[in-house]
């Protein structure tokens, strides 16, 4: 059995036997977030931004994706996605 199935069964048993504490224990098996998610720091990729990145890469083919990304406020992975057609 996996945890969600165990949790469901614990809730069933708590209902059947009227054990409120068992409901609380079942909920303790849920995963808790350790820290808040990281803030978004990259710019949103719009069709216009993607076109500008492509044009810039054509004009300056010797620049690395990292350098292009720094100029446009994107990471190199996003630049790669734009150039390979996986982003607008």
- Measured between alpha carbons, how far is 79 from 3 in angstroms, rounded to an integer? 39
Q: What is the pLDDT of residues 28-76, one digit of tens each?
A: 999 888 888 888 877 889 999 999 999 999 999 999 999 999 999 999 9
Q: What is the pLDDT of residues 13-32, one digit of tens each?
A: 999 999 999 999 999 999 88
The structure tokens 């054990």 sit at 19
Q: pTM of the predicted model, to two decimals?
A: 0.56
């Amino acid at each position: 059995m996996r945890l969600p199935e165990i949790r469901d069964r614990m809730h069933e048993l708590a209902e059947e036997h009227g054990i409120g504490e068992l409901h609380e224990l079942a909920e303790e098996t849920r995963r808790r977030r350790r820290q808040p998610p990281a803030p978004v720091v990259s710019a949103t990729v719009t069709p216009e931004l993607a076109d500008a990145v492509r044009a810039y890469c054509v004009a300056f083919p010797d620049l690395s994706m990292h350098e292009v990304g720094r100029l446009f406020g994107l990471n190199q992975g996003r630049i790669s996605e734009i150039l390979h057609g996986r982003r607008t």
